[in-house]
Copies of this chain bind each other. A is one copy, B any other.
Amino acid sequence: MSTEPRNPEYAATVRRSFEAQGVMTLLGASLVEVAPGHVEIEVVPRPELSQQQSFLHAGVTTTILDSACGYAGLTLMPAGSEVLTVELKVNLLAPAAGDRVVARGRVVRSGRTLTVAQGDAYAVTGGDEVHCATITATLIRVDAPG
């Protein structure tokens, strides 16, 4: 699959969109890597993000995986594009705990209308990574407003 970006400003486009996502601020998520066809987002677990057992809520893990996949897709779209999630599927593999949880999204197929991305989340403690979730998402390109 070609991962040649058609939008030379792809990284700035992703960063601007990320900053416009209120929920990323609410979760305290940060954009740690933006490369063609590949994006990483991480979050630091804290009580406000937990489910009933104090692990990161599946919905929070899913939220950063979804955004990592969406932005991985956006890096390969032409300028003036926005990306929406059509559907996503996540398997939770292990409790999401640790110093931080990092979600890595990558493009599997980049079509004119639809993009398919996959991603994985890892719970990182010191130098140790535990694979805690995996996602497959279908994305659709739409024209950015204005």
| Residue in B49, B62, B87 whose CB lies within 8 Å of A26 | B49
Minimum C-beta distance from A13 to chain B (A): 10
- Answer whether residue A22 sits at the interface, using C-beta atoms and an 8 A cutoff: yes
CB <8 Å contact, A92 and B82: no
Name A residues whose Cβ lies closer than 8 Å to a Cβ of B. Answer: 1, 17-18, 20-23, 25-26, 46-53, 57-60, 62-64, 66-67, 82, 84-94, 108-109, 113-114, 116, 118, 131, 134, 136, 138, 140, 145
Residues of chain B within 8 A of A64, CB atoms compared: 59
CB <8 Å contact, B88 and A89: yes
Residues of chain B within 8 A of A116, CB atoms compared: 87, 91, 93, 134
Residues of chain B within 8 A of A51, CB atoms compared: 20-21, 23
| Residue in B1, B66, B86 whose CB lies within 8 Å of A114 | B86
CB <8 Å contact, A136 and B138: no
Residues of chain B within 8 A of A85, CB atoms compared: 58, 92
CB <8 Å contact, A145 and B91: no
CB <8 Å contact, B67 and A63: no
Residues of chain B within 8 A of A145, CB atoms compared: 53
Minimum C-beta distance from A144 to chain B (A): 9
Residues of chain B within 8 A of A136, CB atoms compared: 87, 89, 91, 134, 136
CB <8 Å contact, B50 and A59: no
